[in-house]
Chain A
């Protein structure tokens, strides 16, 4: 069956249909990994976005061997190149899953052309449509809906045999991230709509990754509470959590042209480099960090984007990249080690 990917700027791509018959729109983002397609599709940070795979020859291995990062496919739509989608079992299952969860897919289009377009224009919206007719209006990204959909609906706890207790603020966290952080102590996993009254009772606050715009008003209450807590107990964060923490410390957030989405980004400084997994469209503004005197630890070695900050005197530290990998490198970048040190060595 034919299907169309229509872009906000009027361009359209014709391809073939898989997944749900529903028409879904969203900001187009690409991912350059050649493995972990199911991890990527289930990564909650892709909520509300139409996901484009750069690697053109997919579905060769059983996706059940991948580690799902959420309990559903998060992306609102999936775009890939493969001109002949296989009849293999693994693909049929994923096709079925996308049908059941209302996620449309389109394949057989020139994804490299599309990626270059996203790279050059940035912030491009598109719709996976069953007709070539452009929509009359484009949905705006609704961060509140996304956080409600991908953050935990109910607060819950993960108990560990540990003296330490962390508050895990779930903005739409990847399963692997919860898994990694829970290795450090017991967790109270909460959504932003029912934050505890007093944050100071915890040994550390951790803010997760998640979909949407970190500047959205929905995060006001969280930021407010963090502002009154910062310096009292350690606060750490990953991805959107990093942006929110930066904001709390006095830095500004800015939107990038097309963001970082892949498993091959080097971060570091002039001597050290680590290959890390990235998935972000926003970042902390560098000038504002300098102004607020927030030390920059790591940058992206390609474009200089700030990838790690740490204010020792305020026990605040966060990374823009994904130290948990999945998909992507699992080699230590020192982030989780440092977190552990903050939890166990530093007594506030």
Chain B
């Protein structure tokens, strides 16, 4: 280590990535958490700035000082001064952190305060980030880059003719998740698009670049040290061609269709590019290679850890962020110990004897979007499948998405229709690919239509032939299908037998999965790390099971409503179990998470969280119990199957039987009536007539809930009789869609959220949050506050007593969450979830109490904590929305969750809290316009003008610096939101929130 680093004198600030948004998610929690753990091992004083309470990195144990505050230059400056920061790391928190680092550097502040940047210098980062500079540099070092020109606001019109050819792609610099990339197909279209971009007023220049659409996109993950040594950790081949963002593409690693000679050329180029830019640490280099495998272009470089580096770390077993941090601290590759074999150096390139397939996950059930995917990101998360063949890895990834594709196996579609569906990259395309494979459509046609490599499709077709040939007689042919690598769930979709029955069939035939170890060396060296995956028909490597172990189910891919916050709980649970001397076994399929860091649990299975793989672990590792409480809905859905296969006692905490009753909304509602606990008026309709009657009785607005999905959702708000009539039409002749639960949608009630732990007899509240928005708005989409006096003591008493009743009735053990509706004096229950909820991390961070540990004690030992102190600070949880991703969404707050993540704010008083929320939302504009149900109001320097909605819209179109507040019930909501989005105006999605922030007029 170089001498300029006096470890004991270092005070390092790490910048996180903030709330989860599309394009920036849990992968940066993983990177930042690894970086912090390395610094702490070196006894370096660490300070973290991150506003995201759902992360592991904002857990008390992660850093010496944690600032859960908005990530902006003001806060960073204050922290740097207050904490006497000496060094800063801005390459572990995605684009957010990188941009802040550059801002601090450009303003001269870092220099002024003598803060040194660890790793790549700001100058180097700029070389990679500024596309013009980057292209020039690449050309200078002899790399091929797509042509590129810059158009400026005041001269773009004259210079349009400089665009050499179409299609071309338009971007603005410093983009996140490829947000502002747009494909230009013709001069006319380009004219329109560019004119609207400059019209918005905030952008001064756009870059237009040759489109390489249709080529194969490749990524190379590079680490480079202070001495100039570099390695390629792994390469990745995008199966979707250029034109589909790598975050939206199905990806295989290592590459399969690239010959060695050209692979080595790209590898050499990647290392050379890292050197030319001056990368110290990790980076990701993207190439496009033509179909002849001869010419390749450099696309871009991410001069930081990225989503791809998280994937590469999990895929190869090589912890990129960890090694990069050691390099940032002055060490070089040859002297860093190999993190996996622990006895040699980190200067090696992992080799794999398995194949990895990544499949992105889109919020197709949440947004009324066309679902067309392209150069900008729409996916919220991803899964990784590992197999001993590409086909096995692919199908494991398919089932790991937890999407139900059974219809694709059960139905038959005309070939022409399938081909049409395959021809546009779309978030539903995977399903139609399965349909095409299942119908054994000509592979060349499929490949041409999807612009995928023909051999890849051919291999998948061969796999489906095994499925088709053997599924007629599954009992005799199970062995062949399993050794071919076909997951139970696929077989279940194909033959219509439940996964539980297939499991029984397999157990009878003695076909049990076997465990293989990921060692980053293809078995060339022995590994001590228990990082594993399941396959069939091979040797079992894992050894004897460890006594009294606990299996913890992860929560799978990040999606809206089930994301990073569950991973926080999972990781904390593992830590708590380890402290208690328990041997922990983890299963998860999400490469972005901290829980899939192989150092977190004692044994890590990277497999789909389905009955098949969970049962495989139970059979082989014989855990004492399985904890499903931290797994979100994924574990809840599986608990009953696990209990029927391995007995009730296998599920730790609340029993599977209880979970099943609670999940059945009808049963639950009946029970609430029985114990005289209030609930919104409800009816169960078994047919059309009953539904009509119920709706008449309830009067609008009403909520309909079914066990089916239409237009991506199973919950429908009906606001008028007209809406009901049109909804009703969809149900005609569909008796299979009943029963439907119908309840009153209360427009003006308050909502309280209670989280608690219990042991079946007693409960201890973790915290109560009050929603700012009205009840009925999904709690994940509402700002929620907590603190002294929230709610009033009478209300608190009342809801705790209800919770106590439910706890005893259902014998709730461990975590639960109840949502209450308050209408005057009337308290009613909306929902009970007998599992750790999304809000446990927020409450834990706010209270600074390790609730997960208490919960684990309640689950395993039945003990509950005593003398929990009252918390005297205020906290707010503020959701963030992906409005700018889904052009046609209505931006309406509803019982359906749309937010991707959240920030947390804490303060000493309510007033301070409000100010900080405003700061978090960067609401800086003084002029406010508010859209109500029938009219609009405009406040201009204290003067308030009443106007019609139409006038309001007109004003919106004219004005630039406005804060726009829009009632959830305004009929112009969609229009208003679109204008706000295109003009980047401050947008407050509802009046309640504006009132809370004292901004409503």
Q: In angstroms, how far is the closest chain A Cβ from the Cβ of B276? A: 14
Q: Please provide the chain B residues from 238 to 281 with a CB less than 8 Å away from any CB of chain A in the complex.
A: 254-265, 267-268, 271
Write the nearest CB–CB distance from B70 to chain A, whole angstroms: 42
- In the complex the two chains form, is A54's CB within 8 Å of B334's CB? no
Name the distance in Å between A40's Cβ and chain B's nearest Cβ.
9
Interchain CB contact under 8 A, B344 and A119: no
Contacts beyond the supplied A270-B334, A331-B271: 7 A-B pairs with Cβ under 8 Å: A34-B351, A82-B389, A83-B389, A273-B333, A301-B348, A329-B264, A330-B264
With A81-B388, A115-B523 as contacts: A264 and B351 at CB distance below 8 Å: yes
Does B369 reach chain A (CB closer than 8 Å)?
Answer: no
Contact of A262 among B259, B351, B456 (CB under 8 A): B351
Expressed in whole angstroms, the Cα–Cα distance for A331 and B348 within the complex equals 14
- B463 — which chain A residues lie within 8 A by C-beta? 84
Most chain-B CB neighbours within 10 Å: which of A65, A269, A325? Answer: A65
Contacts of B332 on A, CB cut-off 8 Å?
A: 271
- Can you list 22 A-B contacts (CB < 8 A)? A32-B524, A34-B254, A34-B351, A56-B353, A56-B354, A61-B455, A67-B261, A81-B353, A83-B483, A115-B522, A119-B524, A263-B260, A264-B350, A266-B345, A266-B348, A273-B334, A273-B345, A302-B345, A303-B344, A325-B264, A327-B260, A329-B267
Chain A residues with Cβ below 8 Å from B254 are 34-35, 55
Determine the chain A residues whose CB is within 8 A of the CB of B483 once the complex forms: 83
Interface residue? A86 (CB, 8 A): yes
Which of A66, A67, A81, A302 is close to B348, meaning CB atoms less than 8 Å apart?
Answer: A302
Q: How far is the CA of A265 from the CA of B334 in the complex (A)?
A: 12
Determine if B351 and A65 form an interchain contact, defined as CB atoms under 8 angstroms apart. no
Pairwise interchain contact A86-B232, C-beta atoms closer than 8 A:
no
Docked-complex contact B523 and A119, CB < 8 angstroms: yes
Whether, in the assembled complex, A326 has its beta carbon less than 8 Å from a beta carbon of chain B, the answer is: yes
Whether a CB of chain B sits under 8 angstroms from the CB of A36 is yes
Q: How far is the CB of B194 from chain A (nearest CB, A)?
A: 40
Complex interface residues of chain A between 311 and 344 (CB less than 8 A to chain B) = 325-331
Whether A33 is near chain B, meaning CB under 8 Å from some CB there, is yes
Contact of B522 among A54, A61, A62 (CB under 8 A): A54
- Which single member of A268, A330, A331 contacts B347 (CB below 8 Å)? A268
B334 / chain A contacts, CB cutoff of 8 Å: 266, 268-273, 301
- In angstroms, Cα B525 to Cα A189, docked, is 38
Which residues of B are found within 8 Å of A326, using beta-carbon distances?
260-261, 264
**Interchain CB contact (< 8 A) of B293 among A32, A61, A264, A268:** A61
Q: Mask for B354-368, Cβ within 8 A of A = 1, else 0?
A: 110000000000000
Q: Mark B664-685, 1 if CB is under 8 A from A, else 0.
A: 0000000000000000000000
Whole-angstrom CA separation of A273 from B453 in the bound complex:
36
Q: Does A291 contact B (CB under 8 A)?
A: no
Q: Is B415 among interface residues, defined by CB-CB distance under 8 A?
A: no
Q: Are B353 and A115 in contact (CB under 8 A)?
A: yes
Complex contact B388–A266 (CB within 8 A): no
Q: Which of B261, B262, B485 is most buried by chain A, counting CB atoms within 10 A of its CB?
A: B261
Nearest CB on B from A331, distance (A): 5
B199-234: which residues lie under 8 A (CB-CB) from chain A?
Answer: 227, 229, 231-232
Interface residues of B in 316-375 (CB under 8 A from A): 332-335, 338, 341, 344-345, 347-355
Residues of chain A in range 233-278 having any CB-CB distance to chain B below 8 Å: 262-266, 268-275
Segment of A106-114, A132-140, A196-204, A212-220 engaged in the interface with chain B: A106-114
A39 within 8 A of B: yes
User: Is B296's CB within 8 Å of the partner chain A?
Assistant: no
Nearest chain B CB to A55 CB, angstrom units: 6
Inter-chain contacts of B338 with A (CB < 8 A): 302
Count chain B CB atoms within 10 A of each CB in A30, A32, A57 and give the residue with the most: A57
Write the chain B residue with the least CB distance to A35.
B260
Complex: how many Å from CA A62 to CA B453? 12
Question: How far does the Cβ of B386 sit from chain A's closest Cβ, in whole Å?
Answer: 11
- Shortest beta-carbon distance from A26 to chain B in Å: 20
Is B492 interfacial (CB 8 A cutoff)? Answer: no
The verdict on B749 contacting chain A, using a C-beta distance below 8 Å, is no
Contact with B along A31-71 (1 / 0, CB 8 A): 01111100100000000000000111100111001110000
Chain B residues in 8 Å Cβ range of A30: 522, 524
Cα distance, A331 to B268, chains bound together (Å): 6
A266-B231 CB under 8 A given contacts A34-B254, A54-B524 = yes
| Residue A295 is within 8 A (CB to CB) of chain B in the complex | no
In the complex, chain B residues 380-438 whose Cβ is within 8 Å of any chain A Cβ: 388-391
Assembled-state Cα–Cα distance A329/B352 (Å): 17
Cα of A269 to Cα of B344 in the assembled complex, Å: 13
Residues in B with CB closer than 8 Å to A269 are 334
Least Cβ–Cβ distance between B262 and chain A, in angstroms: 8
Residue of B258, B353, B391 most packed against chain A (CB within 10 A): B353
Docked Cα-Cα span, A116 to B525, in Å, equals 8
Find residues 513-532 in chain B having any chain A CB closer than 8 Å to their own CB: 516, 521-526
Is B4 an interface residue when CB atoms closer than 8 A count as contact? no
Q: Does B814 contact A (CB under 8 A)?
A: no
Minimum CB–CB distance for A202 against chain B, Å = 31
Closest-by-CB residue of B relative to A39 is: B260
Q: Specify the chain B residue showing the minimal Cβ separation from A61.
A: B257
B484 at the interface (CB under 8 A from A): yes
Known: A35-B263, A269-B334, A273-B229. A86 touches B538 (CB 8 A): no
Q: Bound state CA distance, A88 and B538, in angstroms? A: 26
How many angstroms from the CA of A319 to the CA of B218 in the assembled complex?
Answer: 32
Determine if A110 and B349 form an interchain contact, defined as CB atoms under 8 angstroms apart. Answer: no
- B504 in contact (CB, < 8 A): no
Which residues on A sit within 8 Å (CB–CB) of B456?
60
Q: Considering only CB atoms, which chain B residue lies closest to A82 in the complex? A: B389
Partner of B355, one of A57, A119, A328: A57
Return chain A residues, CB-CB under 8 Å to B256.
57, 60-61
B466 with A32: CB separation less than 8 A: no
List, in ascending order, chain A residues with CB within 8 A of B516's CB: 112
Counting CB contacts under 8 A, is B539 at the interface? yes
Map CB proximity to B onto A93-112 as digits: 1 under 8 Å, 0 otherwise. Answer: 00000000000000000111
Q: Is the CB of B335 within 8 A of A66?
A: no
Indicate if B132 sits at the interface (CB-CB under 8 A): no
Bound state CA distance, A57 and B462, in angstroms? Answer: 14
Name which residue of chain A comes closest to B388, CB basis: A56
B232 touches A60 (CB 8 A): no
| Residue of B334, B483, B516, B526 contacting most chain A CB atoms (<10 Å) | B334
Contact B353 A112 (CB under 8 A): yes
Q: Is A154 an interface residue (CB 8 A)?
A: no
| CB nearest to B226 among chain A residues | A271
Task: Compute how far the CA of A87 lies from the CA of B348 in the bound complex, rounded to whole angstroms.
Answer: 35
The answer to whether the Cβ of B40 comes within 8 Å of any Cβ in the partner chain is no
| Chain B neighbourhood of A302, CB < 8 A | 338, 341, 344-345, 348, 525
Q: How many angstroms between the C-alpha atoms of A273 and B334 in the bound complex?
A: 6
Taking CB atoms, residues of chain A closer than 8 Å to B390 are 57, 60
Q: Which residues of A contact B111 (CB under 8 A)?
A: none
Q: Do B351 and A32 touch (CB < 8 A)?
A: yes
CB distance from B245 to the nearest CB of A (A): 24
CA distance A227 to B459 in the complex (A): 55
CA–CA, A162 to B227, complex, Å? 36
Asked whether any CB of chain A lies closer than 8 Å to the CB of B458, the reply is yes
A32 to B231, CA, bound (A): 17
**Among the listed A61, A266, A272, A273, which residue makes an inter-chain contact with B258, where contact means beta carbons less than 8 Å apart?**
A61
Please, which residue of chain B has its CB at the minimum distance from the CB of A81?
B388
Q: How far is the CA of A339 from the CA of B874 in the complex (A)?
A: 71
Q: Please give, as numbers and ranges, the residues of chain A lying within 8 Å of B525 by CB-CB distance.
A: 119, 302
Query: Complex Cα distance A262/B353, Å?
Result: 12
Q: How far is the CA of A34 from the CA of B537 in the complex (A)?
A: 22
* Cβ-defined contact, A327 with B264, below 8 A: yes
Q: Which 8 A-B pairs have the closest CB atoms?
A: A36-B260, A273-B347, A35-B260, A54-B522, A65-B259, A60-B256, A264-B349, A266-B347
- In the bound assembly, the distance between CA atoms of A84 and B391 in angstroms comes to 10
Cα distance, A262 to B521, chains bound together (Å): 10
Interchain CB contact under 8 A, A275 and B349: yes
B462 contacts A275, C-beta separation under 8 Å: no
Chain A's nearest CB lies how many Å from the CB of B480? 10
